[in-house]
Amino acid sequence: MALRKIFREFINKRVLSPPLLTARHCSSSAAAPKIPHSAKKGRLLTGATIGLVIAGGAYVSTVDEATFCSWLFSATKLVNPFFALLDPEVAHRLAVSAAARGWVPREKRPDPSNIGLEVWGRKFSNPIGLAAGFDKNAEAVDGLLALGFGFVEVGSVTPVPQEGNPKPRIFRLPREGAIINRCGFNSEGIVAVAKRLGAQHGKRKLDETSRNPSSSTDEVKHGGKAGPGILGVNLGKNKTSEDAAADYVQGVHTLSQYADYLVINVSSPNTPGLRVLQGRKQLKDLVKKVALALRLDGLIISNTTVSRPDPVSKNPVAVEVGGLSGKPLFNLSINILKEMYVLTRGKIPLIGCGGVSSGREAYQKIRAGATLVQLYTAFAYGGPALIPQIKAELAECLERDGFKSVIEAVGADCR
């Protein structure tokens, strides 16, 4: 009965609400009554989604919640081909809007116990996170965490709103499981993101208080400021800014109250002069000015690459300027990860990012020194169904090799 009620509420709130796709995703004019091609695709996608919901309604009355949850995640694979028909940036915008509105499955099943871990005084239900770049403006934090990610990183957020680089600026390489982007920190700015996170934070606190009026602050907190999951905020500098440190300081002061961790992004290849800040002296000065007293709590290894390793180099799209992400980045990034783990002697948590598309690859990142793992491109191609699959595979790898937890496996290949 509870599931039937949930489904009825879903129908009332989602299917009967205004259409997800809006006019901003297509072009139209009074002189051209013909329905635009992108609008046709959008209607087809909406129809397919409604069909899945109706099918789910018929299915939900005969199964338990865990089984239905599994079915719903698997069913999202049917929608992936429709996203592939759309322009990459339109598809991205649609995916963020869907997550923001709750048009995504919610993970109700508990994560395997052996993939939970504690980092920075927070308990992560799993080490799999969504990298920055997907939800640039913190529009869909709750929806993305509900998919089952252990943590979500929003941004990069710049102090002042900026358009980013001219379009088109995102290019798919589906055969290689890769993407080239040159977005250039397109951002609504710190003020807009702070308002959005503040509203979400206030609502969450109110809900928590109503559910649990008394709680102890002495024990390690489950989840973080974003509720059951951990929220990171990635900070960037404006393209025309002459004082990068001031940009980052503004981000820290404004957004730290809403984030469990902050990231100083000095590695994007799409902002002129940004990577100059990676120099030893420049980075040391920057960290001092951002008031961290040279104490870093972690490092993300790595960002996209401007190189074009095989087989990408043979693809005509490879000539596009921008950062390459996805499967071809895996070997490059895991080698750097191992080097950094050795250099830091395993004393600070490393977040392994680059080319992860399976639980086995997430496990390889962990053995190479990563405490946490991020993905993005694989999620863009595989959709929500990929998340429970990665977590299940990771749990199996740990159990197979005799590790009782993620922490036991961290850096196993570097010892």
Cα(395)–Cα(148) distance, integer angstroms: 15
Task: Quote the longest CA-to-CA distance of the chain.
Answer: 69
pTM, 2 dp: 0.81
Determine the pLDDT at residue 353.
97
Strand order in the sheet with 299-301: 261-264, 230-235, 151-157, 128-130, 372-375, 350-353, 299-301
Higher-scoring residue by pLDDT: 360, 239: 360
Give the residue-averaged pLDDT of 266-285.
Answer: 65
CA 248, 251, 256, 262 torsion-angle sign: negative
In the structure, what pLDDT confidence band is assigned to residue 278 with cuts at 50, 70 and 90? Answer: low
Catalytic residue among 125, 187, 268, 357: 268
256 in catalytic set = no
Instruction: Write out the two tokens for 6.
Output: 């949930």
Kindly state the percentage of the chain with pLDDT values over 70: 75
Determine the pLDDT at residue 32.
40
Count of alpha carbons within 13 angstroms of residue 24, beta-carbon side: 7
What DSSP string runs through 243-311? -HHHHHHHHHHHHGGG-SEEEE----TTSTTGGGGGSHHHHHHHHHHTT-TT----EEE---BS---TT
Kindly state the percentage of the chain with pLDDT values over 90: 64
Determine the pLDDT at residue 23.
33
Given a cut of 70, whether residue 103 has pLDDT beyond it is: yes
Provide the CA 14 distance to its chain's centre, in angstroms.
23
Determine the pLDDT at residue 57.
56
Q: Write out pLDDT tens, residues 61-87.
A: 556 788 889 999 999 999 999 999 999
Cα(157)–Cα(159) distance, integer angstroms: 7
Determine the pLDDT at residue 244.
83
Q: Write out pLDDT tens, residues 126-178.
A: 999 999 999 999 999 999 999 999 999 999 999 999 999 999 999 999 999 99
Q: Picking from 35-39, 289-293, 308-312, 390-394, which range would have the lowest pLDDT averaged per residue?
A: 35-39
